Structure 1
Amino acid sequence: MKTFTLNPEPQPALTLVGCGILRKEVDRLIEKNHWNVHTHYLNSALHNYLNRLSTELNQALEEREKLGEKTVVFYGSCHPLMENYLEGHHTCRTQGQNCIVMLLGYERFMQELEQGAYFLLEDWALTWEPMITACFGNNNAVVREIFHSSHKYILALRTPCNSDFTSAAEAAARFVDLPLRWQDVDLSHLELVLADAIQRRLAAEP
């Protein structure tokens, strides 16, 4: 867990509990803005396993609450009961359907989605084959059929926080037999999403 303290005018502390898929980007924005926010990240592959996501998210929120911490959630609509969980823990989440929407903005997301994009982030690229085979099995023909049925290309999103994951992205695209495209993304929209969630949570009770 990382801690960033607001300086010079302290604000009430928050603990951000959420997906680790954009942890580098979130940490950079917390540091840049001097937000008094602690972070507790969960595995980025949990969106593939709804039972595990439910268990681990609720457990993390309960642990933070027992420590007397006020939480905010960094997730999209990644579980059908997400809003129930937020209500049960008296917290709120970042606005957006998923992490890609939070990063790109809705219009940019929809433009690529309508053209057939499958969005690839660094963390997924680096764990691609074991993550995909764990979900869909080891039959490459079946995996490719699944991807080809709804996607026309892999769109790798590169942020200022990424290392060079070119080879991993290329391997991921080969694995599902789709062409690879790249798009550079800044953190401006993600920054607005985080700032909004933090402001709403600080203004809420308890």
Structure 2
Amino acid sequence: MKAGTLWLSCGVLRPELEELLRTSRIDGTLLCLDSMLHMEPTKLEQALTTTLERLSKRAATVVLVYGDCAAHLLDIVKRFKVVRIPFINCAQLLVGRERYRQLMREGAFLVLPEWAPKWEQIIKNELGLDRGVAHDLMSEHRGVLVYLDTGIVEVPLELLREFSAYTGLTWRVEPISLDLMLESLLAAQSEPLQAHPAKERA
């Protein structure tokens, strides 16, 4: 007998998913992979493949909470017959498509709560951008830093000030609820049942 839903997610959404599980708005088991895997998509694909080889047969439903984070992600979805959220990234999952489009038109660089403490590691160490290069790149491609406050962890004001100073971008906090994310997760969770109604009735 297979267990229920396995939520296999990027660690960037760990706080939000843990809150939804804690408050019983979703059910199942949560497994998060290190969000830093996004910096090396090939390693992300390898980690997802290894994890699914080990766990996919144990769960009735596996939902990948990942956007378009790697080139062969759809191949992995097809190979293991799992469900994936239909969003390009985790920020779009949180704010919804329309608000995401508005933010992109504004040139927003979106900062998620789990990611904020890692900004220095990513910008300086992983991407190798010193202050001058970061200023030039950000001013050319982005207009503002927007921290998506999901209300679960305290807003890291000092970190945001430091990130703003390093990149030369102004910043603001945008409070969001988890309602849109929850709606999308529940829709993904029910997708296998909709695809196989006879199996559900049995």
Question: Contact 1:72/1:201 (CA < 8 Å) preserved in 2?
Answer: no
1:150 to 141, 145, 158: 141
Question: Contact 2:83/2:189 (CA < 8 Å) preserved in 1?
Answer: no
2:123 to 132, 155, 172: 132
Deviation for aligned residue 1:14: 1.3
Structure 1: give runs of 5+ residues left out of the alignment: 1-10
Structure 2: give runs of 5+ residues left out of the alignment: none
Distance 2:80 2:63 in 1: 10
Distance 2:168 2:26 in 1: 42
CA RMSD, aligned part only?
A: 2.0
- AA aligned to 2:27 is N
Question: Contact 1:19/1:43 (CA < 8 Å) preserved in 2?
Answer: yes
TM-score of the aligned structures, taking structure 1 as reference length: 0.86
Distance 1:92 1:126 in 2: 30
Distance 1:134 1:86 in 2: 32
TM-score of the aligned structures, taking structure 2 as reference length: 0.88
Matches within 5 A, 1:10-159: 13-33=4-24, 35-65=26-56, 68-70=58-60, 71-159=62-150
Distance 1:52 1:30 in 2: 28
SS at match of 2:138: helix
The superposition leaves residues 159-190 of structure 1 with CA deviations (integer Å, 9 ceiling, x where unpaired) of 12122311112211212111111110011100
Deviation for aligned residue 1:20: 1.1
Question: Contact 2:145/2:170 (CA < 8 Å) preserved in 1?
Answer: yes
Distance 1:53 1:148 in 2: 30
SS at match of 1:108: helix
SS at match of 1:33: coil
Matches within 5 A, 1:167-206: 167-203=158-194
SS at match of 1:45: helix
Give identity over the alignment, percent. 24
Deviation for aligned residue 1:41: 0.2
Question: Contact 1:18/1:42 (CA < 8 Å) preserved in 2?
Answer: yes
Q: Aligned residue pairs: how many? A: 195
Deviation for aligned residue 1:69: 2.6
Distance 1:16 1:127 in 2: 24
2:152 to 138, 141, 161: 161
Distance 1:34 1:152 in 2: 35
